[in-house]
Amino acid sequence: MSSSLAIQRENIRKLFPDTFKQARKSRLRGQIIFFLVLVYLIVGFFTLDVVDIPKKWKPQNAAMFVLDTYAHKDHVTMKWENHEDIKIAFEGNYRSVYGRDNLDKSIPDWFYKNSDNVGNVVEFNNKGKAILYKDKVEIVNFPKYERGFTIKLNSNGKPYLVGSEDLVIENLKGFRITENRVEFRPTLYERIQVYPKKVEIHRYSIGWKYFWFDFSSPLEPYTFFEALGLTFSKERVVPEMSNLKLFLTEIKDNEAFMHGRVWWAMLETIVMAVLGTMFATVMALPLSFLAAYNVTPIKALRFTLRRLFDTLRGIDFLIWSLIFLRAFGPGPFTGIFAIGFTDTGTLGKLFSEAIENTEKKQQEGVQSTGASKFLQHRFGIIPQILPIFVSQSLYYLESNTRGAVIIGAMGAGGIGLQFLGALGTGNDFENVAYMAILVLAVVIFMDRLSAWLRRILIGSDQLIVR
């Protein structure tokens, strides 16, 4: 059976030798291309140091970064020389100290006197406790640890873990002991560090605390909805201003999340994208008519305009924004003109091609009624290119929103620069996450908005190219 099949195959091969040769040839070409791509990928792998990813990837840093984007921490600090003066500060910020100054901020309920009335207890979310004494720190009640630990200072003033010599290695999990520091970090959420001078405890909780109202705000004791309810009551929280005004200013002037500044920056970025696209569209439409051969008979003008479009597009918006940054300084104008100039080139090219591809009959129909050249273009060409015009402009509006974020980060201001700043501080990662989410939301919103506008204006949300 199989041998007869093979004979048949041979016969077919003999009947159509050219077809088979060609097939083998094209297959060979495909294999060669595949092989070349593979070789390039291997070369790229080494030239771009992709092999170094495991070496450069610091899981500790990444874990801290991720932890800080969704959690907040309170610092508890005790100096050995004055063990009664314990400072509890939100994120270790000297301006956000509990129970200090005239802020009337009560001590959080996870910090209390021990039952022996001597030590002070810091209770973690997992019920583990660190008890601070005059001369030692006791660590008790941690899940997965069968016994408690004691950390003391030796005669040289260096911290040590009491009885660490007779502990089994598994039980020592979570400890990192160096000459000047004993650190206990059973999970990412609890961290106890003992130094020769002080004890520092970081207590993590999940969530963005003080997202609406910051630490020192008079509205801080209330949740968002409680505060919203308060705006309807006549009793003023602070005598100086009405509750509604207080509510709004407190959100706007939030020191931790800086809503006012972030939203203003976001607005700047959106303005850059929208006005930049408008500028480009308004510039490109008349120019594209002048660059189309069925409208403009002068060849030199068309050629000049075509090269102008190429140049505008070729000088990427990166370089445009550098030039405009020198002229206008940081601010939306830089972004508007950088986007506008680049996209005048892109849209001009697209529109002029669209005009050249229009049906000639409609224009002739208008011409047959004795209409002037202007009216011929108005009623013969514009209705044909309008869908392309709208759909392309809206598409570029969406992609320019991303572009505006980038121009902002290169110095033009807006959310890009704010993002760069927050990342640069090295510890405000919740702000980094907040802004990233905001940018993502705005980009997706613009995407949906332009699809929606396309649908109601031209009846299809697909991008029309030609």
Partner 1 sequence: MTKALPANLEQIEVNLKKLTNQRTRSSLLGIAILILIFFGGTLVSLEANAGSFGRGIANFFNYPRDLFVDTFEMGWKYWPRVIKYIPELIITLNIALFSTSIGFILAIIFAIFSSRNLIRNKRVIQFTKFLMDVTRSFPTLIIAMVFLYLMGKSSLPAVIAITIHTAGALGKLFTEAIENCDGKPIEGLSSVGATWTQKIRFSVLPQVLPLFLSYGILRLEINVRESTILGFVGAGGIGEMLAALIQWNYGADVLACMFLLVGTIIALDYLSAYWRHKLIGANQ
Binding site for partner 1 (CB under 8 A): 37, 40-41, 44-45, 47-50, 52-53, 56-58, 61-62, 65, 264, 267-268, 271, 274-275, 278, 310-311, 313-316, 318-319, 322-324, 326-333, 336, 402, 405-406, 409-410, 413, 416, 419-420, 423, 432, 436, 439-440, 443-444, 447, 466
Element (H, E) at 244: helix 243-252
51 or 169: CB nearest partner 1: 51
Give dist(CA 378, CA 360) in Å, integer: 13
Give dist(CA 29, CA 459) in Å, integer: 44
Query: Which of helix, strand or coil describes residue 252?
Result: helix
CB 198 within 8 A of CB 79: yes
Query: Shortest Cβ distance from residue 120 to partner 1 (Å)?
Result: 37
Query: Shortest Cβ distance from residue 331 to partner 1 (Å)?
Result: 3
CB 414 within 8 A of CB 265: yes
174 or 345: CB nearest partner 1: 345
Query: Shortest Cβ distance from residue 464 to partner 1 (Å)?
Result: 13
Query: Shortest Cβ distance from residue 426 to partner 1 (Å)?
Result: 8
Closest CA to 98 of 189, 186, 210, 184: 210
Cα dihedral 344, 346, 352, 357, rounded to 10, equals: -150
CB neighbours of 289 closer than 8 A, spacing ≥ 6? 295, 296, 352, 355, 377, 381
331 or 365: CB nearest partner 1: 331
Closest CA to 215 of 367, 115, 74: 74
Q: Please classify residue 432 by burial: count the beta carbons closer than 10 Å to its beta carbon, then call 0-12 exposed, 13-18 middle and 19+ buried.
A: buried
189 or 309: CB nearest partner 1: 309
Query: Shortest Cβ distance from residue 203 to partner 1 (Å)?
Result: 25
205 or 311: CB nearest partner 1: 311
14 or 56: CB nearest partner 1: 56
Query: Shortest Cβ distance from residue 361 to partner 1 (Å)?
Result: 18
CB neighbours of 113 closer than 8 A, spacing ≥ 6? 119, 120, 121
Query: Shortest Cβ distance from residue 48 to partner 1 (Å)?
Result: 5
Query: Shortest Cβ distance from residue 337 to partner 1 (Å)?
Result: 9
53 or 168: CB nearest partner 1: 53
Query: Shortest Cβ distance from residue 252 to partner 1 (Å)?
Result: 16
61 or 233: CB nearest partner 1: 61
CB 283 within 8 A of CB 351: no
Cα dihedral 167, 168, 173, 178, rounded to 10, equals: 50
Give dist(CA 341, CA 176) in Å, integer: 57
Query: Shortest Cβ distance from residue 251 to partner 1 (Å)?
Result: 20
194 or 325: CB nearest partner 1: 325
Query: Shortest Cβ distance from residue 81 to partner 1 (Å)?
Result: 37
Query: Which of helix, strand or coil describes residue 87?
Result: strand
183 or 447: CB nearest partner 1: 447
DSSP 220: T
Beta bridge partners of 74: 90, 203
Sheet holding 111-113, edge to edge: 111-113, 120-123, 129-132, 136-140, 149-153, 159-161
375 or 444: CB nearest partner 1: 444
- Report helix angle 429-458 to 59-70, nearest 10: 70
